[in-house]
Amino acid sequence: MGLADNIPLDWRLALGDVPASREFIALESFLNSEWRGGEEIYPPRDEIFAALGETPLEKVKAVVFGQDPYHGPGEAHGLAFSVRPGVKIPPSLRNIFKELHSDMGIQTPANGDLTPWAKQGVLLLNATLTVRRGSPNAHAERGWEIFTDAVAKTVSKRPGKGAVFILWGKNASAKRELIDEKKNAVLESSHPSPFSAHRGFLGSKPFSKTNAALSAMGTPPIDWNLPTAPFQQTLFQ
């Protein structure tokens, strides 16, 4: 079973020749060499395309682009910025939750699982879909960018449907030139990482701006609320 076979069928059909391209085949060969060499790659092989599985093409309302998956054990599960319940919330996601609170008044979620957003039509996609343990950007410029460029263009050109593209950080911002801004909205800021969040991410109000843009398109807004835990300390004190 090849890497392309794990791409959900609706996306695979919409992406046309990209999963069979020379670049994608070279990417698969590179990943296979990493696995054969004993490298620990995140997310697990069967979760690499989880974002596409959770958010079918026809349901996409917004696309959140990040850089690459979390590179610590047990963190990445195929949705950009998300971690499963029980996993410590990474610093970037803590800043996302701080901005969520500042923008929408939403309190600290019980965990870092963003699957409820994905199921509402928020495609949580990184520019690069795999990473080597402890080595951020280790799989950058290996072919993933061509694939995720194709995803961005596919969403952008959907007949009769616009979406909001939320671009966080330099790698994500490179996608802007692929987007038809006559029918889609683009929100761009620095990455929510602690190294850059104060250079434009915090205070950017991406959640309310996304809903305003969706409403202007005649599309129902996103409910950004996530399950919260009782009697919790907030992130914001």
Residues labelled as active-site residues:
68
Q: What is the distance, to the nearest Å, from the Cα of residue 31 to the centroid of all Cα atoms in its chain?
A: 20
What does the DSSP assignment read for 112-172? Answer: S--HHHHHTTEEEEESS--EETTBTTTTTTSSHHHHHHHHHHHHHT-TT---EEEEESHHH
Give the Cα separation of 149 and 152 in Å (integer).
Answer: 5
DSSP conformation class of 228? B
Task: Tell me the C-alpha to C-alpha distance, in Å, between residue 179 and each of 2, 74, 84, 155, 214.
Answer: 29, 33, 31, 9, 16
Nearest CA to 83 among 3, 194, 94?
94
Give the Cα separation of 136 and 69 in Å (integer).
Answer: 8
